[in-house]
């Protein structure tokens, strides 16, 4: 490598390191502390430092590969910041920091590409030359898919851009609410006051569950729509599998206990995807959740991922192991106890598991969760539905079954006619 290329890469690594350090300290996620970010940021900074130290000692091919990988890392970090700025939830500093990270990424990628091109082998014989290149290309693709891509996904997951909270029609007037979790995060949401003495937490967030909240509000239920930590206007660091967010739901239950429009024991939950998983987790240890509808629950730990059968699952297990392992290092939260061990603890409170025929993320585990749960319980497979698309696929029957479920267990209504 030429001295000029070495200097360019050194500057790119320094800029990437400053971006990581700033993201973990001066401009960290609201409500988080430096200590929360110490492990994840420390791991990324260690990777950059070790890379800078070993880089001059590597052969040209390894140097090019390392420069390209570091460039991809910086690109992910920078682009995520710029996406947040474009969405209107990022600050002016996010625009500066993201731009610098993208610049560092482009410099690293340029160095890696240049070294790779300049030091390419000119092996005698066309057949031998091209067969070698094909083998190298195949090996590179496999390594990227099995190792590099999962690591980049994990980095992206814990830096997921916030999306703005949009105005929504919930069918009845709602109140802006906020309250604090047991670990000191301020959460934000909306509450539609109850007309029938019961309420349902629709989770997660104030976007995907709006149609479901409107459906429940039209039947007189109070509805609490709550931004999960690290999302919307709630403080905290994001986590795609909701690690630690059971505390958000417990804080929501604490808030509902202060309401004078609710009867004791008349609180349920309706969760979509990760929201369903978190409501099941919370119900397993908190008796204040009397009834839970979980639509699209799947896996959020490696243990749960490995419960799924099939060749595709077996082949992608190493990839998932890297994702979950990297998340354990990069996230301030620890993985929760698996759902197959939690759902038996919910009984005698009621659960209703809804599964889509075209689901995702381990949704085919719902029959297993149903089998391990105690009574009362229900399971409904909607063959034509996509992930969390039950209301859209069968609006009439979905409303009858879900509202009927809450009527039975929160209001003491008639038995299920189906």
Residue 123 has pLDDT above 60, yes or no: no
Domains of the chain plus CATH, in order, are 3-157 (no CATH), 175-300+336-410 (3.40.50.1820)
Residue 130 has pLDDT above 80, yes or no: no
Span 363-408, pLDDT tens digits: 999 999 999 999 999 999 999 999 999 999 999 999 999 999 999 9
Q: Are 412 and 291 in contact (CB under 8 A)?
A: no
Distance CA 286, CA 249 (A): 10
Span 80-116, pLDDT tens digits: 999 999 988 888 888 999 999 999 999 999 999 998 8
| Direct distance between the N- and C-terminal alpha carbons of the chain, in angstroms, rounded to an integer | 72
Q: How many CB atoms lie within 10 A of CB 246?
A: 21
Q: How many CB atoms lie within 10 A of CB 18?
A: 15
pTM of the model: 0.91
For 26-29, which contacts have Cβ atoms below 8 Å and span 24 or more sequence positions? 27/91, 27/93, 27/94, 27/97, 29/230, 29/235, 29/236, 29/237, 29/238
Give the pLDDT of residue 417: 46
Categorise residue 265: left if φ over 0, alpha if ψ from -120 to 50, beta otherwise: left
Q: How many CB atoms lie within 10 A of CB 98?
A: 23
Three-state DSSP class for 271? strand
Distance CA 244, CA 387 (A): 23
Q: How many CB atoms lie within 10 A of CB 116?
A: 16
The residue whose two tokens read 């460039």 is: 71
Give the pLDDT of residue 201: 98
Average pLDDT score, the chain: 91
- Name the band, by pLDDT with cuts 50, 70 and 90, for residue 11: very high
């Amino acid at each position: 490598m030429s001295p000029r290329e070495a200097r360019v890469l050194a500057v790119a690594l320094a800029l990437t390191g400053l971006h990581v350090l700033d993201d973990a300290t001066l401009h960290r996620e609201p409500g988080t502390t430096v200590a929360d970010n110490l492990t994840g940021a420390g791991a990324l900074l260690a990777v950059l430092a070790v890379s800078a130290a070993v880089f001059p000692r590597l052969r040209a091919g390894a140097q090019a590969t390392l420069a390209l990988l570091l460039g991809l890392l910086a690109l992910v970090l920078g682009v995520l910041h710029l996406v947040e700025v474009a969405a209107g939830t990022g600050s002016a500093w996010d625009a500066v920091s993201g731009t610098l990270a993208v610049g560092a990424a482009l410099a690293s990628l340029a160095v890696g590409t240049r070294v790779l091109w300049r030091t390419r082998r000119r092996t005698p014989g066309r057949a031998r030359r091209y067969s070698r290149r094909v083998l190298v290309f195949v090996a590179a693709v496999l390594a990227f898919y099995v190792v590099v891509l999962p690591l980049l996904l994990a980095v992206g997951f814990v830096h997921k851009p916030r999306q703005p909270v949009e105005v929504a029609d919930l069918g009845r007037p709602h109140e802006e609410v906020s309250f604090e979790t047991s670990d000191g995060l301020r959460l934000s949401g909306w509450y539609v006051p109850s007309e029938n003495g019961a309420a349902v937490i629709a989770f997660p967030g104030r976007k995907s569950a709006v149609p479901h909240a409107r459906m429940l509000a039209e039947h007189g239920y109070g509805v609490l729509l709550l931004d999960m930590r690290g999302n919307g206007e709630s403080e905290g660091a994001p986590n795609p599998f909701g690690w630690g967010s059971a505390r958000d739901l417990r804080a929501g239950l604490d808030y509902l206990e202060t309401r004078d429009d609710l009867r004791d024991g008349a609180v349920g939950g309706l969760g979509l995807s990760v929201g369903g998983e978190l409501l099941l987790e919370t119900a397993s240890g908190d008796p204040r959740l009397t009834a839970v509808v979980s639509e699209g629950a799947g896996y959020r730990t490696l243990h749960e991922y490995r419960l799924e059968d099939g060749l595709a699952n077996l082949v992608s297990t190493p990839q998932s192991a890297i994702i979950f392992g990297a998340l354990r290092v990069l996230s301030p939260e620890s993985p929760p106890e698996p759902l197959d061990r939690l759902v038996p603890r919910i009984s005698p409170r009621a659960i209703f598991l809804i599964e889509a025929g075209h689901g995702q993320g381990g949704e085919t585990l719902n029959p297993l969760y149903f089998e391990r749960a105690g009574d009362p319980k229900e399971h409904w497979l909607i063959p034509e539905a996509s992930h969390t698309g039950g209301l859209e696929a069968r609006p009439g029957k979905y409303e009858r079954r879900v509202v009927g479920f809450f009527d039975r267990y929160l209001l003491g209504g008639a038995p299920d006619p189906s």
